[in-house]
Amino acid sequence: MSQNNFPKLHNATWPGIVGKGADSEPVIPFDTLLAMTAAAEVDGVKFDGLDLGLLEPHFKLDDSDETKILAEKLQKNNLVAGSLVAPIWAGSAMGTADQRATFVDMVRKACEFGKKLRDQGVRPYGVIRIDSAAGVEDWAKDPAGNTKIIAETFREACDVAAGYGEKLATEGEICWGAMHSWKYMVELLEMVDRPNIGFQADMSHTFLYTMGYNAPEHRILPKDADLNDREAVKAALKIVTDALRPWTIDFHVAQNDGSVFGQGSHDKTGRHCQATDPNGVLDIAHDAGYWLRDEKGELTKAFKHICWDGCMFPNEVMNNQQTWNDILAALVKVRNAHGWKS
């Protein structure tokens, strides 16, 4: 059995909110997700922490006691906090002046929340996660001009985050304008040109980059590709990861079956499948290595923790403790293959 203790293994809380709510299934309470995370165990290994979606009803960023209550809950369960999702959808990086100001303000509030958790000793690592909060169709009305606006907003957000010692990670999904292909993602990051911005790679979402959803001009796999052809899949993954790995500062382990899915108010994006899904096209432990190792096969050690992301699963699945044990088992396999001891 591997003795690696890095990267640390995290679960995520936003799958209890994303795609849930009034037009879908009920939101899963934070305390429920916390309890199932703390209870998960595989051969004596447990989760080290949680990445947090700073979204209502889980969290109210304007509540001064919120971080103190959260810190106590985490400490009681021997968990820490890692990366935080800023609620930037209250605004938009491509919107009106007011919407862009709201976007930046949500980043500021997330940074303040994260600093309080650091000060309370329960957040030893992690970044602030953002996206453009802009649809692909709207972006496509003026690709060059809209990318420039998004980059300007991101620069403002980076400058705010720098004041808190935070880095911003842009999660590439096919549903976010200027981030919906691997090439557009690199172009946007280069345009922002700030030292404290990077990429958050999600194995499910980035696999859709290879298939050209919403950006057929950047398709790598042919339209009629056999997704069971591992050599073709691996070659496509290598192209995407070689382009985005140098920017990657946060990482989501996930599975995908080559399809898209949306639920509730969330647009369609790369479908998150269960860790044990027989239709999954990714070899999770192997393919994580494209992100965790450089072109020479050496570990990058670019981040101290990895996180499972599984949004828009049915509540019946998410309320089953075995689901979280299977997720933890997948993360353990990734760490056994690509981790290190420190």
297 pLDDT more than 50: yes
55-72 pLDDT tens trace? 999 999 987 789 999 999
**What pLDDT is recorded for position 2?**
67
Tell me the residue range of the domain where 223 lies: 8-338
The reply to whether 1 falls in a domain is no
Specify the higher pLDDT residue, 259 or 49.
49
139-188 pLDDT tens trace? 999 999 999 999 999 999 999 999 999 999 999 999 999 999 999 999 99
186-222 pLDDT tens trace? 999 999 999 999 999 999 999 999 999 999 999 999 9
The reply to whether 304 falls in a domain is yes
The torsion of the CA quartet 266, 267, 271, 273, rounded to 10 degrees, works out to: 10
Q: How far apart are CA 130 and CA 143, in angstroms?
A: 20
> Measuring CA to CA, which residue among 63, 59, 68 is closest to residue 86?
59
327 pLDDT more than 50: yes
Q: How far apart are CA 125 and CA 303, in angstroms?
A: 8
The reply to whether 2 falls in a domain is no
Number of domains in the chain: 1
The answer to whether 172 and 235 have CB atoms below 8 angstroms apart is no
**Percent residues over pLDDT 90 in the chain:** 88
Helices 97-119 + 66-76 axis angle, to 10: 50
**What pLDDT is recorded for position 261?**
45
Q: Facing residues of 299 across strands?
A: 293
The reply to whether 288 falls in a domain is yes
The reply to whether 33 falls in a domain is yes
pLDDT band at 319; cut points 50, 70, 90:
very high
Average pLDDT rounded to a whole number, residues 224-246: 96
**What pLDDT is recorded for position 292?**
98
The reply to whether 17 falls in a domain is yes
262 pLDDT more than 60: no
Tell me the torsion sign for CA atoms 72, 331, 254, 239: positive
30 pLDDT more than 80: yes
Question: What single DSSP character describes residue 115?
Answer: H
The reply to whether 3 falls in a domain is no
260 pLDDT more than 80: no
What's the whole-number average pLDDT of the chain? 94
87 pLDDT more than 70: yes
**Which domain CATH number covers 275?**
3.20.20.150
The reply to whether 135 falls in a domain is yes
- Could you give phi then psi for residue 245, rounded to 5 degrees? -55, -40
Q: Determine the distance from the C-alpha atom of residue 76 to the mean position of all C-alpha atoms in its chain, rounded to a whole number.
A: 26
